[in-house]
Chain A
Amino acid sequence: MNSSATQQPQRQESDRQAKKKWYSSILARPEVGPIGVMILLLCLLGYFSIPEGQFSLNPFSGEGFNALGIRNNFRIIAQLGILALGAGLLIIAGEFDLSIGSMVGFAGCVMAITLKWGFAFVIPYISFAGGPHIETIKIFAITDVSPLTAIFITLCFTLPFGWFQGWLVVKTGIASFIVTLGGLFFLRGLTMVSFRAFNRAPDQTAGSTTVTDLPDIKNIIKVPGHGEMEREAAKALPNDQLLDILSTVPAQTVAKIAEKLTYVNEKVALYKTISNKSKMIQSLERSLEGAKKSNNESMIEILTKKIEEGATLPDVTAKAVTDLDIARTYIDTIVTARPVANFFGGDIMEPIFDWLYYTADWNVNLYGNQFAQGMYSCLMIWFLLALVCYFVLSRTQAGNWIYSTGGNLSAAQANGVPTNKVKISLFMFTAFCATMFAASQVFEVNTSDAAKGNLKELEAIAAAVIGGVVLTGGFGTVLGIILGAVIFGIAKEAFFYIPGIDGSFYRVFLGAVLVSAALTNENIRKRVIGSV
């Protein structure tokens, strides 16, 4: 063997690769595209929602970013985001779940039915006494189901279903597309059947696939002297009872509420004054135009003068703060007696939105009142889930298993990764995400509908793909999935504001973004794999 060849300093294979530019490692990250699209959409939304006639370089001055807009947008984004996390992680592990949307409807159905009629475990049997018919033996029954119990019972239905779908996929080798497509039809049908069956019996509202008359559980509060009742009912109590309630409140609290109400009333009066004046000027201007048309010289003179003087209307005086107002506002501040329902369906970040109104003078609507009370709590649920997912996927052993299960199944198995367990767990996780979504909806709007979650499975998959997840598995990040959901949510809003075009163009836009995202993802994936 000629040793001279091997002893020379050899050029490494890596020497042949072009030296990396400082930006190439950034460009190889799967989040780059989504961030670009998101910035584009934010600018679209910002600039097009600036009222006509005004000019601003700051996109955040537009109407699309007022407090209520942010509150509502983030609700759509967060709800989709919760599902996209489940769908995205499962795709990274190389499988699909098309049953997510139906699972949302089904979970909402189970939750609403248990909240309304309770839960019973029964064993059915065929009885022949007086003609064959089905009888049941009741094993146990819970009539008054708390929110937490309702969620737990729902999970007892959804998680095993997720497990079963995963088990079918890994044991039989049938494509998850087909197994979960079956789940999609099965669960949607089961949801409708269950709703009809339960609605028919006691209420005679046969055919209804909704439950609409749930109490506003998250707003059940303990009112001093009255026990537990709904907030709105408490505020509608007779005046003397309201004053009785107020008498139990410490003076300090009363003073604070009074101070706030004074601020609100003054603000309302101020906005009323401004709006009255501008209305008056507007009507004067209209008259002036009329006068100009009819060449009424004296009238033009008088009107011009009046407009120059400005509106001479007196300022609207602020309404006085009454004890009844204070009592009702106090009832608003009482903390819920159903924290679980409030956790899923209530509001969060209220102190910040209060601060924005009382101190920062921003969260104000056209009438001088507070615009938004807070963010929907599904935002928090999304955030918590995303945090857990991020941690698990990027930092833990389970995360490495998820990536390798999707990236190279046989390699993962050869190295002792329990790939079947990984997949089944993730099928259960998507079912869990769907249940969380359903819980936040049921407790927020106090209704449930068999059509809930329709098409959400496809939106969730689209959001994950837009966020940089590759459909063949093994590639994607939680940050990307989050961005994908944000893009999906903002697109609709942004296109609504663009003047002169149909708002439904957002679907056209998302379709194009989805396909180009998929192309980009594949490109990045190839760049990561490199060529040998």
Chain B
Amino acid sequence: MTIDSSKKPLIEIKDLVKKFGNFTALSGVSLDVYPGEVHALLGDNGAGKSTLIKVLSGVHPPTSGKIYVDGQEVKFSTPRQASDLGIGTVYQDLALNALTSVTRNFFLGREIKKGPGPFGIMQMKEMNKITIEEMAKIGIDITDPEQPVGTMSGGQRQTLAISRAIYFGAKILILDEPTSALGQKQQMEVLKTIKDVQKLGHIAIILITHNEIHARLISDRYTFLSLGEVIGRGMAEELGGDDIKRLMAGGAEIGDLRDELGV
């Protein structure tokens, strides 16, 4: 995949700083994400990935720094405002209710209805149709949208959460460890889904992962975090496997590690 150099980043983060009291979680992180591109955010535990996501999704306000969406500087302080700006976050727990149907989950909190307030009648047929269509767009055919989410595989649930975020206007999709809790096969399913979202072309994806192999399968661009700072970045083509391994481990040379372990 080649990136058109004239493309403008959908979301630009400049010198983002986040402090919790005396603790500096992020010290000047910058990041560009382009539409139709998977941007892998890699780093060890405590590197600041989670904090960065929480700032981007409106859970924590940044201490300083600027965020541009579509070239416009934006400020937000609640998850609602972030999602109104098109930043959709798919958390690890996916925010699904396993006991109710796929459709009811897809439209949870944003049901299509006719009638007064919360007592409006849900338009189940229309909602079912949209659910099937939207999930098919990113590669999962569900025959029965009335089946409980509990009967779906972990991969299908990821797809449901992702397609839901996209349908409700996410242009910037933040995926928080989407493959971590899954088996091999379902991991591949999810990666395929991400690839399909990428092919849609207008969505910028930030992929947070621990898994170097998964990152290499689908990512176009990398940013490596360590102790709240960017310690490396680059296009997929520029980085070799050893570079990625080294940067993921927080910059330690594999050789050093070998020495330390005495292998």
Contacts and interface: CB of A to CB of B under 8 A. Distances in A.
A27 interface: no
Contact of B100 (A398, A407, A530): A407
Main SS class of interface, A: helix
Residue among B98, B120, B189 with max Cβ neighbours from chain A (10 Å): B98
A400 B124 CA distance: 11
Nearest to B182: A532
A14 B97 CA distance: 19
Nearest to B168: A415
A404 B97 contact: yes
Contacts of B80: 416
Contact of A414 (B91, B111, B113, B156): B91
A392 B188 CA distance: 40
A525 B97 CA distance: 12
Nearest to B96: A411
B153 interface: yes
Given A397-B118, A397-B122, A414-B91, A525 B108 contact: no
A395 interface: yes
Contacts of A408: 95-99
B74 interface: no
Interface in B105-124: 107-111, 113, 115, 118-122
B7 interface: no
A398 B98 contact: no
B118 A525 contact: no
Nearest to A415: B109
Contacts of A532: 152-154, 157
A366 interface: no
Given A13-B156, A528-B148, A416 B99 contact: no
A525 B98 CA distance: 10
B51 interface: no
A415 B95 contact: yes
A404 B108 contact: yes
Most chain B beta-carbon contacts within 10 A, residue among A6, A17, A398: A398
A6 B91 CA distance: 26
Contacts of B113: 396-397
A428 to B, nearest CB: 14
Contacts of A398: 118-119
B98 A397 contact: no
B186 interface: yes
Contacts of B185: 13
A400 B100 contact: yes
Contacts of B94: 411
B180 to A, nearest CB: 14
Contacts of A6: 188, 192
A411 B122 contact: no
Given A14-B153, A397-B119, A528-B151, A414 B186 contact: no
Interface residues of B, number: 39
Interface string A1-19: 1000010000001100100
A13 B98 CA distance: 17
A411 B151 contact: no
Contacts of B120: 396-397
B217 interface: yes
A464 B6 CA distance: 63
A400 B150 contact: no
Contacts of B111: 397, 400
A399 to B, nearest CB: 8
A76 interface: no
Contacts of A397: 111, 113, 118-120, 122
A475 interface: yes
Interface string B143-164: 0000010111111110000000
B121 A411 contact: no
B104 interface: yes
A417 B109 CA distance: 5
Contacts of B186: 13
Interface string B64-105: 000000000000000110000000000101111111100010
A529 interface: yes
A6 B110 CA distance: 35
Contact of B108 (A17, A392, A400, A474): A400
A459 to B, nearest CB: 26
A396 B119 contact: yes
Nearest to A16: B153
A530 B118 contact: no
A407 B110 contact: no
A403 B97 contact: yes
Nearest to A411: B95
A403 B148 contact: no
B123 to A, nearest CB: 10
Nearest to A388: B119
A295 interface: no
Given A13-B185, A416-B80, A416-B110, A403 B99 contact: yes
Contact of A396 (B95, B121, B155): B121
A56 interface: no
A1 B217 contact: yes
A398 B115 CA distance: 12
A16 to B, nearest CB: 9
B182 to A, nearest CB: 9
A412 interface: yes
A243 to B, nearest CB: 55
A401 interface: yes
A407 B119 contact: no
Contacts of B188: 6
Contacts of A414: 79, 91, 95
A407 B98 contact: yes
A398 B95 CA distance: 18
A398 B151 CA distance: 24
A400 B112 CA distance: 12
Nearest to A409: B97
Most B C-beta atoms less than 10 A away, residue of A392, A400, A414, A417: A400
Kindly name the residue among B94, B121, B188 whose own CB sees the greatest number of chain A CB atoms within 10 A.
B121
Nearest to A403: B100
A412 B118 contact: no
Given A13-B153, A396-B120, A397-B119, A529 B109 contact: no
A416 B104 CA distance: 14
A305 B249 CA distance: 114
B88 to A, nearest CB: 11
20 contacts: A396-B119, A396-B121, A397-B118, A397-B122, A399-B122, A401-B118, A403-B100, A404-B97, A407-B99, A407-B100, A408-B96, A410-B93, A411-B93, A411-B96, A414-B79, A416-B80, A474-B97, A528-B98, A532-B152, A532-B153
Closest 10 CB pairs of A and B: A529-B150, A415-B109, A13-B153, A414-B95, A416-B109, A407-B97, A398-B118, A411-B95, A407-B99, A408-B97
Given A397-B113, A401-B109, A415-B108, 9 more contacts: A1-B217, A6-B192, A13-B155, A396-B120, A403-B97, A403-B104, A408-B99, A475-B99, A532-B153
